[in-house]
Structure 1
Amino acid sequence: MKVILVNGSPHKNGCTYTALCEIQKTLNQSDIETEIFWIGSKPIIGCTGCNKCAQIGECTFNNDNVNEFVKKAQDADGFIFGSPVHYAGATGAITSFLDRAFYSNKGNVAFKFKPVASISSARRSGTTATFDQLNKYATISQMPIISSTYWNAVHGNTPDEVLKDEEGLFVMRQLGRNMAFFLKCIKVGVDSGLKVDESEERIATNFIR
């Protein structure tokens, strides 16, 4: 079993990374393979709604690592999405990154039914708004959301300050333990032949007719 932890910060080894490392350590202790995937510090173009991905099977833009992530995601069993707080929300970079990753993923094969959790880091405020924003990718994609003992956030202006946030780090560790538990529960269910009921086709309607 493998979990990909997405670092949505422009700082590769900053506060968000520090929080993700605490989760990674706990997952590894539970025999879960992990990879921290950094989205990078270069500008990431947002989705333009060209729908070319429906024809070619991936996002038409190849000047960043969105398509690389989606390919890796197909073989992953769970995800952690992490972002620092920028203007009381997730960064523009991870928003563009996840918009395109989810929209270009035909049939939702990379993410469907796979557990996910979101975390945020901030000097002071905006963590819960960022947390809510990141969770919306899961709730439209049939992904079970894994929770912890509090809203998943750490506080600090530097990695050293984050390491002093004892409660925040505890929340990260418990999140890792909970993720490992649910991954193992899912494996037991799948191995026993349990399947999700998808007998009803999706209904899509417009408000204006």
Structure 2
Amino acid sequence: MYALAINGSPRKGGNTETLLRAALAPLEKGGWETEFYQLGGRQVRGCIACYKCFERKNRQCAVANDCFNEVMEKIIRADAILLGSPTYFSDVTAEMKALLDRTGLVSIANGRLLRGKIGAAVIAVRRGGGIHAFDSINHMFLMSQVIVPGSLYWNLGFGLDKGEVESDAEGLNNMKNLGETVDWLGKAMAPHKDSYPTDDSNYG
């Protein structure tokens, strides 16, 4: 099984990356193939509502001059997707928002590519707004028929400066539990991977 962690923070080696890697560690221990993808700081534009993904149905976005299709290919292959972001004005980064919108639409346009995958949001927050950012990611997951596992608490880690989140013992423990839960869920789901409900009658 393959787990993909996508870092929406432009700060490499920062608190969001620390949290994501802490969540990946139990999956690596459990025998998963894991990958960490640095999205933040790269060029990825928002959805332009051209709807060519519905015409072409090639599992790609028509906007091909940024990194989106590269990461979308990885998302399609993944059994579990961890999306991480710091909190920018009580929401996710612009790069993460662009990824959410385009991933959700390309998935729907191509027969719901995310259906039955496992998805988890991971948020680094200085003080407030983390729950809103957490919800922004989970809304796309839930509208895409992704299975969203719970953990010990909201998947938040507190810190501002690089490395500060490492002092948040509760947050790091939550990441460990999240990874263990995804590991358990993925292995429990594996025998039933192809039996997820497929009724798309409400989506045209």
Using structure 2 for the length normalisation, give the TM-score.
0.91
2:116 is matched with: 113
Q: How far did residue 108 of structure 1 move?
A: 4.5
Secondary structure class of the residue paired with 1:26: helix
Task: Identify unmatched segments of 5+ residues in structure 1.
Answer: none
Are 2:78 and 1:71 aligned?
no
Instruction: Provide, for residues 94-132 of structure 1, a one-character-per-residue CA deviation record: whole Å limited to 9, x for no partner.
Output: 101221122123324531110111010011111111111
Distance of 1:183 and 1:77 partners within structure 2: 7
* Higher mean C-alpha deviation, range 63-72 or range 129-138: 63-72
Distance of 1:40 and 1:150 partners within structure 2: 25
1:24 is matched with: 24
Are 2:158 and 1:143 aligned?
no
In the TM superposition, 1:49-198 aligns within 5 A as 49-56=49-56, 57=58, 58-105=60-107, 106-190=109-193, 195-198=195-198
Which protein shows a greater Rg? 1
Q: Which runs of 4+ in 1 moved over 4 A?
A: none
Distance of 2:111 and 2:159 partners within structure 1: 35
1:10 is matched with: 10
CA contact (8 A) 1:67 1:101 kept: no
Q: How far did residue 145 of structure 1 move?
A: 0.2
Q: How far did residue 201 of structure 1 move?
A: 4.7
Distance of 2:9 and 2:111 partners within structure 1: 25
Distance of 2:111 and 2:71 partners within structure 1: 14
CA contact (8 A) 1:5 1:81 kept: yes
Using structure 1 for the length normalisation, give the TM-score.
0.89
Q: How far did residue 43 of structure 1 move?
A: 4.1
CA contact (8 A) 1:75 1:110 kept: no
Q: How far did residue 13 of structure 1 move?
A: 1.6
* Higher mean C-alpha deviation, range 4-13 or range 101-110: 101-110
Distance of 1:6 and 1:45 partners within structure 2: 16
Q: How far did residue 204 of structure 1 move?
A: 4.9
Q: How far did residue 93 of structure 1 move?
A: 1.5
Q: Looking at both structures, which has the greater relative contact order when contacts are Cα pairs under 8 Å and sequence separation is at least 6?
A: 2
Instruction: Tell me: CA distance 1:63–1:201, structure 2 relative to 1, closer, same or farther (3 Å).
Output: closer
Distance of 2:156 and 2:97 partners within structure 1: 18
The AA in structure 2 aligned to 1:120 is: I
Distance of 1:108 and 1:86 partners within structure 2: 32
Instruction: Tell me: CA distance 1:120–1:201, structure 2 relative to 1, closer, same or farther (3 Å).
Output: closer
Instruction: Tell me: CA distance 1:107–1:62, structure 2 relative to 1, closer, same or farther (3 Å).
Output: closer
* Higher mean C-alpha deviation, range 168-177 or range 59-68: 59-68
In the TM superposition, 1:33-48 aligns within 5 A as 33-48=33-48
CA contact (8 A) 2:43 2:67 kept: no
Secondary structure class of the residue paired with 1:49: coil
Give aligned-pair identity as a percent: 30
